[in-house]
Each structure stands twice: as C-alpha cells, then as structure tokens.
C-alpha cells in the first residue's frame, strides 16, 4: 500500500495539494498605508454584544452604556467616541513598542480623554454626572435644564424675545448645549489635574524633582487655560446672540465649527492658509449636517420600531428592525468620521496657535 501511494504521489502531488488546500485566501491586510493599518474596521451589523471593539475595556464600557438605556443617538455618539479612543490607544501601543512616549505624555492625554468620555455619558459612576446626562436620555429637548443659572436666564430671554424663528431657536439651543458640554468637560479635566497635582506634591522630594512630571502639569495647565478662554468666548457670544438675535452675515451655524473659526482667526495662519481653513470648515459643517440628518432619521426609526413591535406583524417588525440597524450603522460611521475630522482640524489650529507663542 505504501509503494502504491508513493507511486501516485509523484505526478499527482501538485493537483492533490491544490484540491486539499482549496483556493488561495484573499489578501486581507495591505501595506502600512492600507485602511486596515490606519483605521479600525467598521463593526458588522450582526456583531454580538461584547464584540464592538478590539479592546476589552471599551467593550465593557459599551455594554454598561447599553444597560443605561441611552437614546439611540447618544449610543451612536458614544460609539464614535470610543472608536476614536480605540484608534488612539492602539496607536499608542505601537509607539510604546517602538520605545516612544517615554515621558508618558501621550498616555496621560488618552487617560484624560477617556475620563471626559466617561463623564460625558454618565459612565463614571458619579451621581452628579448621571444628573447632568439624564437629560440626554430624552434627546436634550428644549424643556431640559442647562445646569447653569446664567445659561438658563439667557435661554429664557432668547425664547421670549420674539427675535428668533423656530429654526433659529433650534440652532441657538444647540449652541447652549455645546457650551454646557464644554463647561462640563473643563470641570472633568480640572478635577483630573487637581488629583494629579496632589499626587505629584506628595511624591516630590528634594533629591528627585521629577521635571518630566512638572512639564506635563504645565502643559495641562496651558490646555485648561485655552479651554477656559474658549468657554469665556462662547459665553460672550451666547450673551450677544441672545440679546440681538442672529445677524444675516453669520459665517457658520454649527457650534463646533464656530469655535474652530473663532480660534483660527486668532491663530498664526497666513491669509491664504486662513482662507483654505475656512473652505475646509464649510466641508466639515456639511458633514455635520449630514450626520445630524441621520441622527434624526435614527430617532424616528427607533420610535417607529417600538410602535411596530407593540402592534405590528412579525414581518413588519423584521422589516423595520432591518431599516433601524442600517440607519444605526450609518450614523455610527458618520459619527466616527465627524469626530476624526474635528480632531484633525483642532490639531491644526492648536499647532498654529502654539507656533504663535
């Protein structure tokens, strides 16, 4: 039997190997500039719970958020934020493997960013954070509180002034919410910095001045100072708009774009660079508007699905659930792209402002 098998193997070996191995596998990983190397793949619609992210700690946060019954829009926004966090943490892991980020500055920045995400969506376990974001469960309607008497007073004045159309009031409300979130983010970062300073002061000794840590604290103070300046600018703008209404010559409408444009005008850009940045902001605003459209459609689809689940047939439920899943995935994808674009634009402005110092 052995000799017979050996006799056949000589002429037929290549054919047998091809039949046993099957067709060659498709190449799934490109070079270092491929999409797989630079962006996390979008999650398939059929993922099981716990498989949304490559990092286990982010999966745990995602499952916690789902248990909190956040609105579909808030869940989609959280998904985009966690995707950005995952991308940056995987990038940090590669840097550390190459012996970079020895001072831990990038790692500390990512820890601070994750703390902001936890607070933003009420995932840090703090009662005050849960109160701030309980309003988000209902989609931040205009009957919800803003958490600041000054903002409440300005909003009431604007609502009762008669100077705003319904569309302009909706636009102004987005600006108020954006300002509220900025203040909350600032408070989270301030609290994180205070704890870091306390730990630094307890650990410091005359023999080991820890210059690296001191430099990191200085950079974080500078970051906080810039955020506080942006908050003051934003409050001044809200005061002005609430009293006077929107002027016909408004450059942009989206709060995040308005912030970037205000910062860009005081940065070290040439006239040509500033004009180029303005055009890019217009594209960015269009991307945000598209994302907002999908968010609204997602909410509508969610409400319709809940209604159909109560009174519809199984076929009707299945059809609406399929539509909802598709809208959810598209909203997540657009949210990630908006977050990434915002990060890129913010970094450009930040570099230009630092070059000015």
CATH of domain 251-356: 1.20.81.10
**What is the pLDDT at residue 354?**
66
Domains of the chain, residue spans: 51-121, 145-202+212-250, 251-356
Residues 6+ apart with CB under 8 A from 2: none
Report pLDDT for 212.
55
Q: Answer for the pair 135, 168: CB distance below 8 angstroms, yes or no.
A: no
Q: What are phi and psi of 318, to 5 degrees?
A: -60, -45
Rounded to 10 degrees, what is the CA torsion of 291, 295, 296, 298?
Answer: 130
- The end-to-end CA distance of the chain, in Å, is 85
Residue 348: per-residue pLDDT: 92
Give the SS3 label for residue 52: coil
Task: Specify the pLDDT at position 106.
Answer: 84
Non-local (6+) Cβ contacts of 319 within 8 A are: none
Task: Give the pLDDT confidence score for residue 37 in this predicted structure.
Answer: 47
Go through the chain and tell me how many residues it has.
357
Q: Which pLDDT score, from 0 to 100, does residue 38 have?
A: 53
Determine the pLDDT at residue 273.
Answer: 93
Farthest CA pair distance, the chain:
99
pLDDT at residue 163 in the model: 87
What separation in angstroms does the CA of 207 have from each of 133, 213, 298? 45, 14, 59
List, run by run, the mean pLDDT of 10-residue segments along the chain (357 residues).
44 43 46 49 46 90 91 94 94 89 81 89 67 40 72 90 88 90 87 77 54 68 83 88 77 88 88 94 96 95 92 90 95 96 92 67
The crossing angle, in degrees rounded to 10, of helices 271-311 and 314-356 is 160
Cβ proximity of 288 and 257 under 8 Å:
yes
User: Which pLDDT belongs to residue 266?
Assistant: 85
Task: Locate 177 and state its tokens.
Answer: 């919410």
In the DSSP assignment, the letter for residue 135 is G
* Fold: same for 51-121 and 251-356: yes
* Domain 145-202+212-250: assigned CATH number: 1.20.81
Q: What is the pLDDT of residue 203?
A: 65
Q: Quick one: pLDDT at residue 213? A: 63
CATH fold, domain 51-121, is Receptor-associated Protein (1.20.81)
């Amino acid at each position: 039997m052995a000799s017979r098998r050996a006799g056949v193997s000589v002429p037929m070996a290549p054919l047998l190997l091809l039949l046993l191995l099957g067709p060659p596998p498709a190449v799934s990983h490109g070079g270092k500039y491929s999409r797989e190397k630079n962006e996390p793949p979008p999650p398939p619609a059929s993922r099981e719970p716990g498989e949304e992210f490559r990092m286990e700690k982010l999966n745990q946060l995602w499952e916690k958020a789902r248990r909190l019954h956040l609105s579909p829009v808030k869940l989609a926004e959280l998904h985009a934020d966690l995707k950005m966090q995952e991308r940056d943490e995987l990038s940090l892991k590669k840097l550390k493997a190459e012996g970079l980020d020895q001072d831990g500055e990038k790692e500390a920045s990512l820890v601070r960013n994750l703390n902001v995400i936890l607070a933003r969506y009420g995932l840090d376990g703090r009662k005050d954070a849960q109160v701030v974001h309980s309003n988000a469960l209902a989609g931040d309607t205009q009957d919800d509180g803003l958490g600041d008497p000054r903002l409440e007073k300005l909003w009431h004045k604007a609502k009762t002034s008669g100077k705003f159309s319904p569309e302009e009031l909706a636009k102004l409300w987005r600006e108020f919410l954006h300002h509220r979130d900025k203040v909350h983010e600032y408070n989270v970062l301030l609290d994180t910095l205070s704890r870091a300073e306390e730990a630094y002061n307890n650990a410091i000794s005359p023999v080991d001045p820890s210059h690296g840590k001191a430099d990191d604290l200085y950079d974080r103070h500078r970051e906080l100072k810039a955020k506080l300046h942006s908050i003051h600018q934003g409050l001044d703008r809200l005061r002005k708009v609430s009293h006077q209404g929107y002027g016909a010559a408004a450059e942009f409408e989206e709060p995040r774009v308005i912030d970037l444009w205000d910062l860009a005008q005081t940065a070290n850009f040439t006239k040509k660079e500033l004009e180029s940045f303005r055009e890019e902001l217009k594209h960015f605003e269009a991307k945000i508007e598209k994302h907002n459209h999908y968010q609204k459609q997602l909410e509508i689809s969610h409400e319709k699905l809940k209604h159909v689940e109560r009174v519809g047939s199984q076929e009707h439920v299945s059809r609406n659930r399929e539509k909802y899943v598709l809208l959810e995935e598209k909203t997540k994808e657009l949210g990630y792209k908006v977050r990434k674009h915002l990060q890129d634009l913010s970094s450009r402005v930040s570099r230009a402002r630092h070059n000015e110092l």
